[in-house]
Structure formats: structure tokens, C-alpha cells
């Protein structure tokens, strides 16, 4: 009986050892298979991810460089905007100062002739007549003549420099069509005539119109 149990125990132990050996071999084979699979499948994926990571790092570096350049441009533009705003503020002050100043100019004096026609004289601030109009049949026409002086007195091309038969210098102020709007007084020298033209340019913008 004891021998039977001994044989049975030896048989069971052998079977256990065999099973353990088989499981261990299976585990080793599974590990080897998994290692080769990981190497053949996961390693390329990991390398690809690492390449993507390196590419993204390069892109981030490039974007940082571009950001730095753009930031520098923004700073320069802000400086330019600040400078332009400062210049604008200075101009606004100049405009405000000019708008508060009263420009002293002459006036237009409308007179009636004996025949009922009207004319106007442009007088400087000192009362001197610097331009005399032609005769107009009505007051409305005379007023239109004054408006024509205002429109054309700023254009030097509208002034015709003339010399009279007795060698006096004078000028005519003309309209766009060449018609004479007004005539100056006589001057002894061209310089005096040019002074008269400058005076008409300066005083011709007057909005003061009086009737005598």
C-alpha cells in the first residue's frame, strides 16, 4: 500500500512539474511574441510620434520668431500712431487758434450812378479803393459781381497786368470767360501794381457789403 501511494505521489509531482514547465514555456513564448510585435508595430508609431513632436517643436520655435517680429512691428506702429496723434493735436490747436483770430479785411461799397445804374468799390482796411467794378443795370447784378470777385480774387491768373497810354500800370480782375469784373487804380510802377493785386487777394474775401 505504501508503495502504491509513493508511485502515485511521484506521478502527481511529475505532472505538476510538467504543467509548470509548459506554462513557463508558454509565458516565455508569449513574452517573445509580444516583444517582437511591439517592436514591429509600436516602435514605428512611437518614432512617428517623436518625429511629429520634433516637427511641432520646430513650428513653435518658428511661430515664436514670427511673434517676436510682429510684436516689434506693432511697437513701431504704436509709436507712429502716437506721433501722428501728437501732430494732429498740435494741428488742432493751430486750427483753433486761427479760428479765434479775427482777420481784418476791407469791404464792398455799393453806389448808385446818376443814370440809375450801380457799381461797387472794393476798399482796403485803410479806406483806399483798390478795385472798381463796371456799371450794372440792377442791384442784383451788382451783387453778383461782388460774388464773382470773391470767387476769382484768389487766382493770380485772373489778374491782367496792363500799361495805359500814359505809361501807368494797372490791372483788371477777370472771370473764367475773360470778362472784366473790376479795374484797379493807376500805379506809377509795377511794384505798386503788384501791391494792389496782393491787397485785392487779401481783401476780396470780405463779406462786408454796404450801400451808400
Q: How many CB atoms lie within 10 A of CB 207?
A: 9
Is the distance from CB of 204 to CB of 108 less than 8 angstroms?
A: no
Q: What is the pLDDT of residue 44?
A: 75
Is the distance from CB of 211 to CB of 110 less than 8 angstroms?
A: yes
Q: Which residues pair with 109 in a beta bridge?
A: 121, 210
Chain position carrying cell 476798399:
123
Torsion of CA 132, 137, 139, 143, to 10 degrees: -50
Is the distance from CB of 159 to CB of 184 less than 8 angstroms?
A: no
Cα–Cα distance measured from residue 128 to residue 111, given in angstroms and rounded to the nearest whole number = 15
Taking only the tens place, the pLDDT of each residue in 86-97 is 888 887 776 555
- Would you give the distance in Å from CA 174 to the centre of its chain? 39
The percent helix, strand, coil of the chain (3-state, each to 5) is 60, 15, 20
Cα–Cα distance measured from residue 18 to residue 60, given in angstroms and rounded to the nearest whole number = 59
Cα–Cα distance measured from residue 174 to residue 178, given in angstroms and rounded to the nearest whole number = 5
Q: Which of 113, 134, 130 is nearest to 179 (CA)?
A: 134
Chain position carrying cell 501728437:
86
Provide the terminal-to-terminal Cα distance of the chain, rounded to the nearest Å.
164
Q: What is the pLDDT of residue 136?
A: 96
Q: How many CB atoms lie within 10 A of CB 139?
A: 14
Q: Which of 29, 197, 64, 19 is nearest to 124 (CA)?
A: 197
Chain position carrying cell 484797379:
184
Q: What is the pLDDT of residue 22?
A: 74
Q: What is the pLDDT of residue 131?
A: 97
Taking only the tens place, the pLDDT of each residue in 105-123 is 999 999 998 899 999 999 9
Enter the pTM of the model. Answer: 0.53
Provide the grid cell at 26: 508558454
Residues of the chain with pLDDT under 50: 99-101
Provide the grid cell at 185: 487804380
> Domains along the chain?
107-211 (2.30.29.80)
Amino acid at each position: 500500500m505504501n508503495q502504491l501511494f509513493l508511485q502515485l505521489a511521484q506521478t502527481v509531482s511529475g505532472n505538476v512539474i510538467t504543467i509548470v514547465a509548459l506554462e513557463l514555456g508558454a509565458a516565455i513564448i508569449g513574452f517573445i511574441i509580444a516583444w517582437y510585435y511591439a517592436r514591429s508595430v509600436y516602435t514605428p508609431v512611437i518614432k512617428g510620434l517623436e518625429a511629429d513632436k520634433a516637427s511641432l517643436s520646430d513650428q513653435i520655435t518658428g511661430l515664436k520668431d514670427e511673434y517676436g517680429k510682429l510684436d516689434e512691428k506693432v511697437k513701431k506702429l504704436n509709436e507712429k500712431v502716437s506721433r501722428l496723434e501728437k501732430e494732429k493735436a498740435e494741428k488742432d490747436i493751430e486750427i483753433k487758434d486761427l479760428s479765434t483770430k479775427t482777420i481784418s479785411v476791407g469791404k464792398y461799397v455799393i453806389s448808385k450812378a446818376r443814370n440809375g445804374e450801380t457799381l461797387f468799390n472794393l476798399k482796403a482796411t485803410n479806406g483806399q479803393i483798390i478795385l472798381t467794378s463796371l456799371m450794372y443795370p440792377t442791384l442784383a447784378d451788382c451783387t453778383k459781381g461782388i460774388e464773382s470777385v470773391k470767387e476769382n480774387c484768389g487766382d493770380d491768373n485772373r489778374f491782367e497786368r496792363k500799361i495805359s497810354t500814359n505809361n501807368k500800370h494797372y490791372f483788371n480782375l477777370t472771370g473764367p470767360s475773360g470778362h472784366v469784373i473790376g479795374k484797379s487804380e493807376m500805379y506809377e510802377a509795377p511794384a505798386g501794381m503788384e501791391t494792389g493785386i496782393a491787397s485785392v487777394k487779401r481783401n476780396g474775401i470780405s463779406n462786408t457789403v454796404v450801400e451808400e
